[in-house]
Amino acid sequence: MSAIYTTDEYGRPFIIVREQDKKSRKSGIEATKSHIMAAKTVANIVRTSLGPRGLDKILISPDGDITISNDGATIMSQMAIENQIGKLLVELSKSQDDEIGDGTTGIVVLAGALLEQAEELLDRGIHPIRISDGFEKACKIAVAHLDTVSDVIPWSKEDTSDLF
């Protein structure tokens, strides 16, 4: 496959890949691993912005606007992602932001870590459905454990003293 590395009028690099018509469609485990790789790439981009020592990202929009941020929601919303699984992670981040208002970076990093572990299981020859079933069982066990260690704090609109 021949490819040309070049830059646009603003100096941003991009690659032109020739012979796209000869490209074959991926299927099966190869397609699954390709999707996992795309999701891990998105997760790795935001992973470095997590925590107190998180790095800022410089994002340049197509019209030249520059955004500097270490906020996962901002980074995810500004990224132009073509891969459908990458877009799914962006939607996951948006729904986390809409529902909770925080944890957008953490949820994407967690999803990337789970997919990384799933890839290792795929390499061992375990079927994707069995991996998914294992993740569901692990989730049930984790929720059951959280139920056993959690405390119930009674509160009402009139008496909020227990909340402080």
> Token match 């375990």: residue?
126
Per-10-residue mean pLDDT for the chain, 164 residues long?
Answer: 71 68 70 86 85 81 83 81 85 88 87 93 93 96 95 80 70
Beta-carbon contacts of 85 under 8 Å, excluding residues fewer than 6 positions away, are: 35, 36, 38, 39
Q: What is the pLDDT of residue 122?
A: 92
Dihedral Cα 51, 56, 59, 64, nearest 10 deg: 150
The model's pTM is: 0.71
Distance CA 91, CA 93 (A): 5
What gap in Å lies between CA 157 and CA 110, rounded to an integer?
35
Dihedral sign from CA coordinates of 84, 85, 91, 95:
positive
**Distance, CA of 117 to chain centre:** 14
